[in-house]
Amino acid sequence: MSVQTDNSTTTQLPSGGLKYNYSSVVFLHFAYVGVAIDAYKQMFDKEVIKSGLVICQFIPWLCASPDGLVLKNGKIDAVLEIKCPISCRSKPIVENGIPNLKYLLVENGILKLKKSSMYFTQCQILMYCTGLLTCEFFIYNNIEPVALTIQRDELFLTNTVKKIETFFFNYYLPGLASRQLL
């Protein structure tokens, strides 16, 4: 069962308790992003500048919104993507060598972002739109934040951008046009 509150969808459990409130999650993300960026800067002694919407130079209908841009020697070196998972607010992100987040895995003793996760796709599109080769994926909590360096994957991007283009031009735009929203 779903109820509408404050222009957000909240899913209600049969017991009557609230399971998920989209506007609360968005608010928590924005409330913690500044704290997370400060923690990242302090932990890694790096300078980060804020970024707004970045429109892809080669495909102007594709854009991304990084949480920050990491500077090295005064030049933009990497895109920064922050996650502040509510599920790890009061427990470690990795506990006894096992990730507490479904989008992470440990492979040969190394913590990685799953290529099948939506966050891997997000990081790749962030790099594609900004023209950068590296994404610093920072998972923040008060216990033990985790940073992963994600490298640009050209094969993944080639396949993904083709799929996005097909969806955009064959389904999304015609759908908008048929509703006379353009």
- Angstrom CA distances, 9 to 4, 5, 18, 73, 107, stand at 5, 6, 11, 44, 37
pLDDT value for 30: 63
pLDDT value for 148: 98
* pLDDT tens figures, 119-155: 999 999 999 999 999 999 999 999 999 999 999 999 9
Identity of residue 19 = K
Strand pairing partners for 135? 79, 150
Nearest residue to 57 via CA among 119, 128, 109, 107: 128
Architecture (CATH level 2) of domain 25-174: Alpha-Beta Complex (3.90)
pTM for this predicted structure: 0.81
Integer Cα distance of 116 and 87 in angstroms: 20
**What is the full per-residue pLDDT of the chain (182 aa) written as tens digits?**
333 333 333 333 333 444 445 454 455 556 788 999 999 999 999 999 999 999 999 999 999 999 999 999 999 999 999 999 999 989 999 999 999 999 999 999 999 999 999 999 999 999 999 999 999 999 999 999 999 999 999 999 999 999 999 999 999 999 888 886 54
Domain range annotation of the chain: 25-174
Question: What strand order describes the sheet that includes 18-21?
Answer: 2-5, 8-12, 18-21
